[in-house]
Structure 1
């Protein structure tokens, strides 16, 4: 029964289902500990090798910058003042454990906006995607460019979301939480999208999560946008019709039956950036299969430098087109270091250990999907040949998805995906808009006809016309999750707040100019007129 599922139940006054405004607050004590660890960094001797990446010079420069120039409090203040952040709690399956999910919720000022669930690419957090708020919620031409009510969650255990208990199956539990979150916010129907190449995701987390939403929540998730999905060519035992179409199109190498010329050239093109005898695992880290997460957790929880190396290696594997500045790299590292990396590693390990039985269940009908794939047809002669190699571009013909999905739109994009959210966010935005256009052409049920139906934070925080008193601050914990301390009083405002364009500081491109385009405003959800309840540290 739907009502028996605690994740699906509507929020009750005074329950743990309240949606609370959230402010990041990292104690000075924890920042001091970080500085001390950076000062005591001991880097290994690095013999020169023609086969290995030699990051020592880059790491030394970044450590110096981190200590002497980087200011987390400045970033923290900008995030708190400009990004509409919230947390809400869900009960996981037995043994029942409350899990608080951190999310961004930015409502569009346009009447034709539809709800969008933007899922960060693992292992990035939602705060790495704030540059999407302006183009998705408040485009310059809302008539020709579909606007969205935007929800960007941090997956459990990442950023400022609580980890799942070890007993909870990660993919199905997370998908259930995300679907329940959208309904709790007043979005009974919505669309969802990846924000990174799913084929490069560790343990295929990005692919499995969005696929699970599309197949198991058909009544609420009306469509999804896959980016570079790990599709296989049709097999006769799965779909004789689709196998026949692919066989005929390939036999004649002709753009027929839903296939294009690019499909044949891209699917047979070798990836010159990948030596034939050496292969890296996704993101240059661990291969799929069983591995225990505690050893790297202990190592990385105690070493900001070690975590910085993991970020650098991941970036090198993704191969960004545009170079990230030191401020950007350290901010990405801090968003993992401050909450602690251990929960993300355990989430990864649980996903890699085995597929969940529920993932194999077939839906009652084919979900509607849009796909973005990359042709990989750029010049690759300048790709580095030493380890770690750039991630391989796994091309998949969009029509291959027809075995399991109803493909409503497909985009074939030149080049390789790289660090997509950083290099080419327009590719993600275009794919989502194409999906929304295709869905709305036949089903307008996800359009919000009554904006007041969207849950306002004022309604769920203030109870019985009285403010909720804040508990005494909890003692400081020096584990990996200490950064998630209590937050102070939320700014009091009864009206929707318009966020002006942040100052154009070239040293902070991940944050500056990320919320609103020049001369634009973004409407944020209402904040309570009285002080909000203070949460205890994670």
Structure 2
């Protein structure tokens, strides 16, 4: 398929009527009655924080300025992609910036929930440029996944990880990238794994910053089971286990709701900007490592969901599709010897597993356990993540694989 005929430049342009409607809803917001524990993070998003952010969103936050900033910093495009069993011409929005350095490596950046394409904004200039001759650079592609951001919403059930991977792969081919590296955490981890399984001849490496594995079993990993039973882990790995346990006890209720009854929640997310703000703000605060979120950053992040083409409700349906095809998703956690891996562990991610478990996914050519950082590594720790990606590419000889 000729990319010239289907790919068009894109600029975000939210209608004034949509902005006015959002402000009107904020003016009419009803907040819960205050209690002595309204601001206890143990119960969820603090009421005072949400009231303050809602006031800024209503009175002083300027989406048009944020929109102009995104349009200025991020070269954006749209194209049409057919997905087997779904839309024949799904509109896909994406960021695409090429490096001016010869031999640059195509890199597909996949966001997750509650992220979006804007997560690439800080790492984009770092990945595409370098003053050192021996340091790799990248042609970066960062799509809004279907049902997110400014990509089209899907209309049929069953649009899960394999379909997201199909869209991403076809997008890379449209751009002329027949071989490429993937990078992602959250859903980006699963999509990267699916790409490596579905298109191993095209994926020359995957760098991951949320590492998920199946627990070791006596049949498949007896030594890992023994290690687990005896507690033979480093201090950092033991802290990671504690973080993982805390998340599974107190933090993954959102996933259970989104994975079982996404429409019920989605009705609230689509109608109430306050509900949307609280639902996502809790994750921004709880999944990061004391990151100093500004009001501008939070509200731009939330506004991308509020003004998304498919609506904020569409984004949570992916959880349902994955939950109801969990057995097929298990295959993405199996060993894949065809795709070399780079693994970055950040201590305040929602799940932080031992390095030995990560090595069950495939051939690991580079890994690093960081002292700080959380779930949104590209936004929280852009320099650290980019350094890991470049080291992975150099160590794995990924540039040379483009010509094989």
1:250-298 Cα shifts (integer Å, max 9, x gaps): 9796xxxxxxxxx43333347667897992233x523278512111111
Larger Rg: 1
- 1:287 is matched with which residue? 256
Instruction: For 1:172-321, list aligned pairs within 5 A.
Output: 172-194=162-184, 196=185, 201=186, 205-232=187-214, 234-238=216-220, 243-244=222-223, 247=226, 263-269=233-239, 279-282=249-252, 285-287=254-256, 290-321=259-290
Shift of 1:364: 7.6
- 1:331 is matched with which residue? 300
Shift of 1:73: 1.2
**Distance between the aligned counterparts of 1:214 and 1:89, measured in 2?**
23
Contact 2:13 2:67 in 1 (8 A): yes
Could you state the TM-score of these two structures normalised by the residue count of structure 2?
0.88
Q: Residue 395 in 1 paired to residue 357 in 2?
A: no
Instruction: For 1:20-419, list aligned pairs within 5 A.
Output: 20-49=8-37, 52-53=43-44, 55-94=46-85, 96-139=87-130, 141-194=131-184, 196=185, 201=186, 205-232=187-214, 234-238=216-220, 243-244=222-223, 247=226, 263-269=233-239, 279-282=249-252, 285-287=254-256, 290-339=259-308, 340-355=311-326, 357=328, 360=331, 365-374=337-346, 376=347, 392-397=350-355, 399-415=356-372, 417-419=374-376
**Distance between the aligned counterparts of 1:246 and 1:274, measured in 2?**
18
Count of residue pairs the alignment pairs up: 398
Contact 1:172 1:358 in 2 (8 A): no
- 1:445 is matched with which residue? 401
What are the ranges of 5 or more consecutive residues in structure 1 without an aligned counterpart?
1-9, 254-262, 377-389, 449-538
Contact 1:172 1:212 in 2 (8 A): yes
The structure-2 alpha-carbon separation of the partners of 1:164 and 1:234, relative to structure 1 and needing over 3 Å to count, comes to same
What are the ranges of 5 or more consecutive residues in structure 2 without an aligned counterpart?
none
**Distance between the aligned counterparts of 2:365 and 2:108, measured in 1?**
18
Contact 2:204 2:401 in 1 (8 A): no
Shift of 1:159: 0.2
**Distance between the aligned counterparts of 1:277 and 1:142, measured in 2?**
41
The structure-2 alpha-carbon separation of the partners of 1:153 and 1:265, relative to structure 1 and needing over 3 Å to count, comes to same
**Distance between the aligned counterparts of 1:315 and 1:411, measured in 2?**
23
Contact 2:61 2:296 in 1 (8 A): yes
Contact 1:225 1:435 in 2 (8 A): yes
**Distance between the aligned counterparts of 2:240 and 2:361, measured in 1?**
27
Aligned Cα RMSD in Å?
A: 3.1
The structure-2 alpha-carbon separation of the partners of 1:248 and 1:13, relative to structure 1 and needing over 3 Å to count, comes to closer
**Distance between the aligned counterparts of 1:57 and 1:324, measured in 2?**
16
- 1:463 is matched with which residue? none
**Distance between the aligned counterparts of 1:278 and 1:172, measured in 2?**
26
Contact 1:164 1:170 in 2 (8 A): no
- 2:393 is matched with which residue? 436
Shift of 1:134: 0.6
Which has a greater percent of helix?
2
Other structure's SS at 1:421 match = helix
